[in-house]
Amino acid sequence: MTTSATAIEELRAAGDSARAEEMAAYHKADRPYLGLANGDVEAMCRRWREGLDRDGRVALAIGLWDSNIFEARIAAGKVLVQARIKPDDAPVWDAIKQFALEFDSWAIADAVAKAAERRIAADLTRFDELADWAEAENMWMRRATLVFTLPWAKGRNPSPEEAARREQALGWAAHYTTDPEWFMQKAVSWWLRTLSRHDPERVHAFVAAHGEAMKPFAQKDALRLIT
């Protein structure tokens, strides 16, 4: 059975010091970098998940996260990616929420998003828990309300509940149009651009209502596929 200690040892053994220096310069967050390609981390996570039950995966993910190593935090998110979890009660979702409190990197936040999407899909009331993040001091938590819910920008015929959750996310996006942070503006445009493939009329309506508050690049990006 893989433990966080053995997993971190494997990550370290596969590291590339030259690549690690480049990654540290690119991501800028002050933490250890090992220099692994994303695909290599993904392959390790698939192997580590084998033979672990839900609680074993949660323990592994938390241990990886607590190391503060870049690749280990990426792995922490990937270890928890699973469409069906029985029972799907608190532990996995609680771990994801705990990780979000410490988000400081788009790459790490996006790695955790894949696990979060599946837990939200399993219980749509978790949308309501994200609502508190819309006012979070941590910009990455605010951004996560859109990145975690990106799947709800997809699909041409959402169910009534899915449509309601889509509007809930669009409400957060509208709130963020006045946020000056580049990453927040980009998250808004990303969500809208994704939605534009399936409901261009709703995106045009959003931009008509809120476009003046958006940064020009974000408005252009949101409409890129439909203008």
Give yes or no for a contact between 95 and 88, defined as CB atoms under 8 angstroms apart.
Answer: no
> What are the domain boundaries of the chain?
1-123, 125-227
Give residue 1's pLDDT. 77
- Class of the CATH-defined domain 125-227: mainly alpha
Give residue 82's pLDDT. 80
- Pull the structure tokens for residue 153: 């920008």
For tokens 């690119």, name the residue. 26
Q: What is the C-alpha to C-alpha distance for residues 102 and 47, in angstroms, rounded to an integer? A: 26
Q: What is the C-alpha to C-alpha distance for residues 61 and 76, in angstroms, rounded to an integer? A: 4
- Pull the structure tokens for residue 199: 């409901």
Give yes or no for a contact between 90 and 57, defined as CB atoms under 8 angstroms apart.
Answer: no
Give residue 89's pLDDT. 67
Count of beta carbons in the 10 Å neighbourhood of residue 7: 23
Is the C-alpha dihedral spanning 117, 119, 122, 128 positive or negative? negative
Phi, psi of 128 (to 5 degrees): -65, -30
10-residue mean pLDDT profile of the chain (227 residues): values are 93 97 93 96 94 91 98 96 73 95 96 95 94 95 98 94 97 98 98 97 98 98 94
- Pull the structure tokens for residue 45: 């996570």
For tokens 């509007």, name the residue. 167
Give residue 31's pLDDT. 96
| Cα radius of gyration (the chain) | 18
Output the CA–CA distances (angstroms, integers) from residue 149 to 18, 31, 48, 131, 169, in the order listed: 36, 28, 27, 12, 7
Give SS3 for 197.
coil
Give residue 84's pLDDT. 75
* Closest listed residue to residue 106, CA positions, set 204, 29, 1, 4: 29
